[in-house]
Structures are given as C-alpha cells and as structure tokens.
Amino acid sequence: GSDRISVQEELDRISSIVEKIKAKFDVCLSVDTYKPEVVEEVLKLGADIINDITGLTYSEDIAKLASEYDAGLCLMHMREDPKTMQLNTKYDNIISEIKNFLNVSINKATRSGMQKDSIIIDPGIGFGKDLNGNSAILNNLSKFIDLGCPILIGTSRKSFIGQINGKEANDRLSGTIASNVIALINGARIFRVHDVKENKDALLVANEIVRSGEMIEA
C-alpha cells in the first residue's frame, strides 16, 4: 500500500547513507531502487549491487548503468506495484509465471550489456503473493535453478510468517529461520534478513548438514 516517492526525495534519503557506509565499511553494498537517476548516483558513490524490485519493467536503463559501472544486478518479480500488488494475488500457475517473468528480465539485462554471472534473481516473496503463493515459491525454488542465476530469497519478518504463527513483525525470528532453511534446501543461496547473526548461525548449520550428509538406505 505504499506510495511512490520522487527521484529527489529518494536521493535525499539515500545518498549520504551510501557515502557513509562505503567510507566506513569494506562491504558489498546493495541499493534497492528502480529509478535510473538514483541508480546512476549511487553507483557513482560506490554501490556494488542494484536491487530492482520491478525486474526491469520500470526501466531497462538500470541494466545498462549497472553494466557500465561493473555492478551486480538483482532482478525481482513483482506484480503491479507496491501500492496495488496485494489486490490480486491469484495465479493460474505461480511458478511458471514467475519463472517466465524472470527469464524475460534476465534476457533484457544481458541485451543491455550485463554479464549473466553478475545477475541475481529473486522470486519476490510477499510482492503480489498470498500465503499459499509464498509457500509454493519456497517449496519450488529448485525450479528456478535452471535460469542460471543465484537465487535470493527475502522472507525476513514478512506477514505470511505471522499468518502462520500469529506473531507480530518483531517476533518472527524463528519463523524467518524456518523459512530460510527450507529455501536453502531448495536452492536459495542469498538471504535478505534483519537478524543477521541468528540467521547466519542457523544457515551455517543447515548448509553443513545438507552438504556433508550421506543418504543411507535402511
């Protein structure tokens, strides 16, 4: 239900933050925006990845800019826009529709000069999806692997977790971890979270079990 803000307001909010983070920390910095003017400015300031929630449907110039600055690009699936995306969460085949959308987005990006190994895909948990849709995505993440890009998942504290366990947003850590472990098992490799330490600890354990486990017939 959120409203769009102007390019200038977005720049006013984020530019100084990007500068300060890049000056103080030696980290890979991702900026969430779909406006080319903002993309160009934050890349000049040192941003390393652009996260486009529209999957290049708002502007393909984002991919051109990311390519020019040798930055990474995350392409997400979203139906409509944040103002209206939850008004229609029904799909004939949610996995097929998201996969086709992301495939088109990847092709747009590579045509604009992006190297495929610099592209991340995100099926967009909670962006135009209901509880059943989000669950279907998490259970079927492996079907996105053949798109050839690392899969990012962002379930942290989202409302579908509260629908399941009845917890408020600031009390959804355990539900977030559970959803991320399922996502890991099914193919996700990048996780957007609020509670970094706790999720990292859980995913390290889950990843080691999956990696080193041996299937033994009874």
Do the beta carbons of residue 45 and residue 71 sit within 8 Å?
A: no
Q: Quote the CA–CA distance of 167 and 169 in Å, as a whole number.
A: 7
Q: Name the maximum alpha-carbon separation found in the chain.
A: 63
Do the beta carbons of residue 98 and residue 147 sit within 8 Å?
A: no
Query: What phi and psi, each to the nearest 5 degrees, are found at residue 86?
Result: -95, 5
Active site residues: 158, 192
Around Cβ 183, how many Cβ atoms within 10 Å? Answer: 26
Report in angstroms the alpha-carbon separations of 186 from 137, 140, 143, 145, 196.
10, 7, 9, 9, 20
Q: For 51, which DSSP code?
A: E
Query: Which sign does the torsion angle of CA 179, 184, 187, 189 carry?
Result: positive
Q: Which two tokens stand for residue 13?
A: 């909010």
Q: Which two tokens stand for residue 44?
A: 């000049």
Q: Which two tokens stand for residue 115?
A: 């190297």
